[in-house]
Amino acid sequence: MTNRVTIRDVARYADVSMSTVSQILNGKANRFSNDTRQKVLYARDALGYVPDFNARNLITNSVKTIGVIVPDIGNPFFSTFIKSIEFLAMEQNCISLILSSNDNQELERKHLEQLINRSIDGIIIASPSIGQAEIDNQLKKNRIPYLLIDQNPIADGDRVMTDDFNGAELAVNHLAQLGHRKIAMIMAKKPSDNLKRRFFGYKHALNSNGLEFDEKLVISTEMSKIGGMNAANKLIQTDATAVLTVNDEVAIGLYHGLNLLGKSVPDDYSVVGYDNIDLDEYLAPPLTSISQPIHELGATVFKKLIERIKNPDLPQTEIMLPVKLVKRNSTKKLS
């Protein structure tokens, strides 16, 4: 329909063969005389030739595209992660295809299928709901290089994670140092693997601070602002004076819930969040939180995936990145 300019047109215009054009335009220009090179380049510009992506990919069998599946693009942690991947990808003229699964398994399955259809070069899985079955049936079968980040329980494949266990420990240590003896944790109802590690870290740190683990101080809720809000009601029925939330979003909900119940942070409850999102310092009071090295995570993940794509037979690696505590005003000495 359209009069797309093809390599044939360029060849004709420059009065050379198609393969000459192809080679000159693909980094093999030094094989040719200066004269021919000029002619071809000139013809390309005169005609405004742009190589057809599909035709080229059909041959080279690469689409210069990697997929990224995240659970929720609206979560600041993931949007930051994505930005960092996107930036790195673009440096390599590669595009990142972002898919947000939004807790919709059906959608996620379709997403994955689409990615495979497009014979994507590799895929980063940051969503906990991709299971072993999908990995086996879809990815491995089609030999798609993939990499898991910490959400996912699957052991099979490269992984990059952050030290969730230690993150929770840091939080609990901080609260214990402030004199808190009754430290609650607001946990996810359906925890992904990294969240479970946070829970273990919490338990372990209680122990190492000489505090007793009390099941009543573990409150399960949805991983959302509403979940956090609802947790407030349960929290005030305990004798806790401090609380670690499974992430910052839940902490934001908790703030609101406590507020509605007439409770104050940090006077009635010291709160530590997890993720250290931008928003934390703007909350009232600014939220103490555990910071994960998101950009480093992005960079490591991207680098590892590229390595894997280049060399599928590399041994599997597992990388653990350190986290740190960022103190703000949501925690205070127990008086």
Partner DNA sequence: TTGAAAGCGCTAACAG
Partner DNA sequence: CTGTTAGCGCTTTCAA
Which neighbouring-strand residues pair with 68? 98, 124
Give, as ranges, the residues between 111 and 150 that touch a second copy (CB under 8 A): 111, 114, 116-119, 141-143
Write the CB contacts of 38 (distance below 8 Å, at least 6 apart in sequence).
none
Report what 332 binds from a second copy, DNA, none; CB cut-off 5-8 Å by kind. none
As separate numbers, helices (DSSP H) first and strands (DSSP E) second, the chain gives: 12, 12
Site for DNA contains 106 (CB under 7 A): no
d(CA 207, CA 138): 43
d(CA 234, CA 245): 13
Site for DNA contains 220 (CB under 7 A): no
Part of the chain binding a second copy (CB under 8 A), chosen from 39-47, 171-179, 254-262, 296-304? 254-262
Site for DNA contains 60 (CB under 7 A): yes
Number of residues that bind a second copy (CB under 8 A): 52
Distances (CA, A) of 44 to 15, 26, 309: 12, 13, 32
Distances (CA, A) of 279 to 273, 282, 284, 294: 12, 5, 10, 15
Query: How many residues are recorded in the chain?
Result: 335
Distance of CA 108 to the CA centre of its chain: 15
Site for a second copy contains 95 (CB under 8 A): yes
Report what 102 binds from a second copy, DNA, none; CB cut-off 5-8 Å by kind. a second copy
d(CA 304, CA 161): 12
Part of the chain binding DNA (CB under 7 A), chosen from 29-37, 161-169, 188-196, 247-255? 29-37
CB of 330 to a second copy, least distance (A): 13
Write the CB contacts of 129 (distance below 8 Å, at least 6 apart in sequence).
71, 101, 103, 105, 108
d(CA 293, CA 324): 9
Sole binder of DNA in the list 42, 45, 46, 55 (CB under 7 A):
55
**Closer by beta carbon to DNA, 47 or else 320:** 47
Site for DNA contains 261 (CB under 7 A): no
Residues that bind a second copy (CB under 8 A): 2, 48, 50-55, 57-58, 61, 63, 73-74, 76, 79-80, 82-83, 86-87, 90, 93, 95, 97-100, 102, 107, 110-111, 114, 116-119, 141-143, 225, 229, 252-253, 255-256, 259, 278-279, 281-282, 284
Q: Which residues bind DNA (CB under 7 A)?
A: 4, 6-8, 16-20, 22-23, 25-26, 31-33, 35-37, 49, 51-52, 55-56, 58-60
